[in-house]
């Protein structure tokens, strides 16, 4: 019997954070999508302490990560940041502990964990299971997309002759469906205090990939026991686009023949998630603790009284079997081994626990993929293209941000509003970030795993000043706010400007120059000076403005929801000035013309703001103007809903929440104004003059497809 065949617009392999973020975009944009994951239902038998019964519990209760403030901004654009914010532990302060002259650890400093002022959110910590739940709720609420678990791809073919054909399904994938039992990997469990505790070693880089094991188990079962109707069937799926978000052992990446390049170190770290019983006074702060001779601990306070400890395991010589490049014998790392290391580092403070929630161990290493896509049809994201140590709290964030960058681009191309040229920007933008990430992680890990310097003459040791300086710089990178995308058809900035303001290194620039796809004759030039606080290539910063119609304060970013829409933000300036009023009226006429880019790129019958939304922020006093003082194109009329009251805002003082000082914070002169183009992912494409309608039109014409 031949396998059933079907078509889908997007096939996502892997339902971790990167795959879920992709599915969320597809749900929002109404794209026909399937998402599969080789593992079965996420439940794990777990002995309840209170009732002494076996209960099922979501697996991966470890896998916590910090959520960067940028990640929370992204969650908010999808409408669920509040859930994360409420449930998470807020990580407010970092404390540094180092040996004093006598070798005893003492608190050597405190700094804020999130740099004040860079975002309306601060870094928080929450376990991955809850974050996946928020994604799932969102996807189920807004679409028919459902995660298909126990399903894995076994064959992949890309028809290169069809990759530029927008109607084609050039990707053919064979999917195999396993029974639930087959899809559940055998997991190690550790007994502690009489309670069985799941460990995370099966996902650690100390463990081999389990895909082959899952398939062997399925085949054996099929031979021996027969199958139920659902189990171990195959089907063939034809897809327009595909995402491999299937982790560090990515099957998709290997099928494409792409490699990860990089190196491992000898440093072994253990992770314990415990409810600590300790007289160490800073256990609820993030701490970087360097002992004189016993290694380092990082403390990450979590939700529900838990604390995560990253602990340098100083007994590697005993664990290693001695052969060069060999992996450590994982069976010899136990919670007790890790705890004993922690106790040595924290002495004379005491540390013990009665509740162990999860634990794992890993070897530090950093690797980046050679390619992020095959012909801009099959893309890789997350651990499939970059792996590094978990301690910096970056992995989940960078992975989700990969697909946050990619999702709206693929959706626009599938919907026919944008051309395929924008897809090249994914690799340009994200490989640069991945290289920055592993450089950051490499430096950070070395500093953190190294021995503290005994004095200024101790050149092999890490000095406290060196560490603190690196930590502070790292904090800006780790916030996710420093991301600064290079020039492309969707980022109108000079080639040489890249990397000046932000974190992008040379990798990004080199790739950008080769792949940005900009036609010099159509080049659009930003005028960055008109809005010095809104950097082209970086995410739109947020300050509060008031709705003109009802005086409600909004963070401007709250109006930039993730629905696939581009925004043109018109900072109209002070409209009590005749020149500003005239300039706005002139722009209004151009925007309202039947030939304007607003009209040309919006599908017939589509809502006026479905492809490009125009938002206006004027300076001055809200009470001096009414909605009807603005050109109609800025507050469009709908025959069912009347006027649109959610497009015009003002930079004025609120009744209850102070003054956002938007013009001041954005560096815009109210006597001049500015126009800003913002991508669907909140990154700034262009800054220019209100008088320059031509550049706006040329910008959108560079990649958008005219509609009938």
Q: Enumerate binding residues for a second copy (CB under 8 A).
A: 82, 86, 89-93, 110, 112, 114, 116, 122, 275-279, 281, 283-285, 301, 305, 354-355, 547, 549-553, 623, 626-628, 639-643, 645, 654-656
39 is catalytic: no
Alpha carbon distance 660, 663 (integer Å): 9
Alpha carbon distance 32, 103 (integer Å): 61
Quick one: which of 498, 370, 355, 510 has its CA closest to 434? 370
Q: Six-digit token pair at 187?
A: 């997991």
Helix ranges (H only) for 572-652 are 578-592, 597-600
Least CB distance to a second copy at residue 114 (A): 7
Least CB distance to a second copy at residue 278 (A): 7
Name which of 482 and 704 has its Cβ closer to a second copy: 482
310 is catalytic: yes
Least CB distance to a second copy at residue 239 (A): 30
Least CB distance to a second copy at residue 116 (A): 5
Name which of 186 and 193 has its Cβ closer to a second copy: 193
485 is catalytic: no
310, 353, 666, 683: which one is catalytic?
Answer: 310
Name which of 5 and 626 has its Cβ closer to a second copy: 626
Quick one: which of 20, 13, 434, 9 has its CA closest to 240? 9
Name which of 321 and 639 has its Cβ closer to a second copy: 639
By CB atoms closer than 10 A (0-12, 13-18, 19+), residue 453 is buried
Name which of 5 and 82 has its Cβ closer to a second copy: 82
Name which of 287 and 676 has its Cβ closer to a second copy: 287
H-helix or E-strand containing 108? Answer: strand 105-112
302, 367, 377, 511: which one is catalytic?
Answer: 302
Residue 274: strand, helix, or coil: strand
390 is catalytic: yes
How far lies 638's CA from each of 33, 168, 466, 644, in Å?
A: 32, 36, 60, 8
Least CB distance to a second copy at residue 548 (A): 9
Name which of 459 and 550 has its Cβ closer to a second copy: 550
Least CB distance to a second copy at residue 352 (A): 9
**Contact yes or no for 13/246 (Cβ under 8 A):** yes
Percent helix, strand, coil in the chain (nearest 5)?
Answer: 30, 30, 40
Residue whose token pair is 């999917």:
175
Least CB distance to a second copy at residue 7 (A): 26
Alpha carbon distance 151, 147 (integer Å): 9
170, 301, 390, 487: which one is catalytic?
Answer: 390
Inter-axis angle of helices 693-701 and 578-592, to 10 degrees? 30
Inter-axis angle of helices 506-515 and 424-449, to 10 degrees? 170
Catalytic positions, written as ranges: 65, 302, 310, 390
């Amino acid at each position: 019997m031949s396998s059933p065949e079907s078509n889908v617009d997007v096939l996502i392999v892997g339902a971790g954070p990167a795959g879920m973020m992709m599915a969320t975009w597809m749900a929002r944009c109404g794209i026909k999508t399937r998402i599969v994951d080789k593992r079965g239902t996420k439940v794990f038998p777990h002995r309840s302490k209170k009732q002494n019964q076996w209960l099922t519990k979501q697996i991966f209760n470890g896998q916590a990560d910090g959520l960067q403030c940028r990640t929370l901004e992204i969650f908010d654009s999808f409408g669920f940041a509040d859930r994360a914010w409420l449930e998470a532990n807020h990580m407010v302060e970092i404390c540094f502990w180092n040996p004093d002259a006598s070798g005893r650890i003492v608190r050597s400093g405190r700094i804020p964990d999130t740099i004040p002022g860079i975002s309306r959110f601060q870094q928080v910590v929450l376990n991955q299971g809850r974050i996946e739940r928020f994604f799932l709720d969102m996807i189920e609420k807004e679409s028919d997309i459902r995660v298909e678990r126990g399903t894995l791809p076994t064959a992949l073919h890309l028809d290169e002759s069809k990759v530029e054909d927008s109607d084609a399904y050039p990707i053919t994938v064979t999917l195999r469906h396993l029974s639930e039992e087959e899809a559940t990997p055998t997991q190690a469990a550790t007994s502690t205090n009489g309670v069985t505790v799941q460990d995370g070693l099966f996902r650690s880089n100390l463990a081999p990939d389990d895909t082959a094991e899952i398939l062997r188990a399925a085949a054996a079962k099929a031979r021996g026991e027969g199958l139920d109707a659902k189990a171990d069937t195959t089907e063939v799926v034809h897809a327009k686009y595909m995402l491999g978000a299937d982790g560090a052992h990515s099957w998709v990446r290997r099928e494409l023949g792409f490699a990860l390049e990089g190196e491992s170190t000898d440093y072994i770290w253990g992770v314990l998630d415990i409810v600590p019983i300790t007289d160490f006074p800073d256990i609820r702060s993030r701490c970087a603790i360097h002992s004189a001779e016993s290694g380092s601990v990082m403390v990450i306070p979590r939700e529900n009284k838990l604390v995560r400890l990253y602990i340098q395991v100083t007994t590697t010589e005993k664990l290693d079997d001695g052969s060069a490049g060999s992996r450590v014998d994982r069976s010899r790392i136990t919670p007790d081994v890790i705890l004993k290391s922690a106790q040595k580092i924290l002495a004379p403070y005491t540390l013990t626990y009665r509740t162990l929630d999860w634990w794992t161990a890993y070897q530090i290493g950093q690797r980046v993929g050679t390619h992020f896509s095959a012909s801009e049809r099959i893309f890789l994201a997350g651990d499939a293209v970059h792996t590094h140590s978990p301690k910096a709290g970056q992995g989940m964030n960078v992975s989700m941000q990969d697909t946050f960058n990619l999702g709206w681009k693929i959706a626009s191309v599938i919907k026919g509003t944008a051309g395929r040229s924008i897809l090249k920007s994914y690799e340009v933008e994200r490989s640069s970030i991945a290289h920055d990430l592993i450089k950051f992680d490499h430096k950070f890990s070395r500093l953190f795993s190294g021995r503290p310097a005994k004095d200024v003459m101790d050149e092999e040791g890490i000095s406290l000043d060196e560490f603190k300086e690196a930590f502070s710089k790292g904090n800006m990178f780790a916030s996710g706010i420093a991301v600064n995308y290079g020039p492309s058809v969707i980022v109108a900035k000079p080639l040489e400007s890249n990397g000046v303001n932000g974190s992008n290194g040379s990798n990004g620039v080199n790739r950008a120059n080769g792949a940005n796809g900009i036609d010099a004759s159509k080049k659009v030039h930003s005028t960055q000076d008109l809005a010095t606080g809104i950097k082209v290539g970086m995410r739109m910063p947020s300050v509060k403005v008031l709705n003109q119609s009802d005086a409600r304060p909004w963070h401007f970013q709250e109006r930039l929801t993730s629905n696939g829409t581009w925004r043109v933000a018109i900072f109209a300036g002070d409209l009590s000035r005749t020149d500003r009023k005239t300039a706005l009226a002139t722009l209004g006429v151009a925007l309202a013309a039947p030939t304007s880019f607003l009209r040309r790129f919006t599908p017939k019958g589509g809502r006026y703001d479905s492809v490009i939304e125009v938002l206006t922020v004027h300076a001055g006093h809200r009470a001096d103007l009414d909605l009807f003082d603005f050109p109609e194109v800025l507050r469009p009329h709908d025959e069912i809903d009347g006027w649109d009251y959610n497009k015009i805002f003002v930079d004025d003082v609120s009744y209850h929440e102070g003054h956002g000082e938007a013009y001041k914070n954005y560096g815009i002169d109210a006597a001049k104004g500015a126009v800003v183009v913002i991508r669907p992912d909140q990154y700034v494409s262009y800054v220019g003059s209100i008088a320059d309608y031509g550049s706006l039109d040329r910008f959108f014409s560079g990649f958008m497809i005219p509609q009938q």
